[in-house]
Amino acid sequence: DAKTTQPTSMDCAEGRAANLPCNHSTISGNEYVYWYRQIHSQGPQYIIHGLKNNETNEMASLIITEDRKSSTLILPHATLRDTAVYYCIVRGPYNQGGKLIFGQGTELSVKP
């Protein structure tokens, strides 16, 4: 079973920041938080990951709370092309086994 809880859907106005929350209250100390997104009819695309610290890359920012029980993915200036299903996943180090389990994700609709 997925270890994360996300809202089913969200709307965002084009050009505004999209803030996608994720709850992972049972996360273990060595588990990473990953975000992927899936645009219709395509395979999921890696966005960002983090362990304890906040992270930023060219696509997004990831804010992880101090207790690590929740996180927020931020798309700073959402465009229509960001309309997709966003998945938040937690998983331990790859060399400790464990499966990458996708939940139902958040369907983000970016509107003009």
Residues 13-32 that bind another protein (CB under 8 A): 30, 32
Question: Can residue 87 be called a binding residue for another protein (CB under 8 A)?
Answer: yes
The pattern of x and - marking residues 35 through 64 that bind another protein according to CB under 8 A reads: -x-x--xxxxxx--x-x-------------
Question: Can residue 7 be called a binding residue for another protein (CB under 8 A)?
Answer: no
Task: Report the residue number, 12 or 36, with the smaller CB distance to another protein.
Answer: 36
Task: Report the residue number, 18 or 36, with the smaller CB distance to another protein.
Answer: 36
User: By CB under 8 A, which span of 20-28, 58-66, 71-79, 88-96 interacts with another protein?
Assistant: 88-96
Q: Give which of 39, 50, 41 is closest to 89, Cα–Cα.
A: 50
Q: What is the DSSP string of 51-110?
A: SSS-EE-SS-EEEE-TTSSEEEEEETT--GGG-EEEEEEEE--GGG---------EEEEE
Rounded to whole angstroms, the Cα distance separating 78 from 59 reads 10
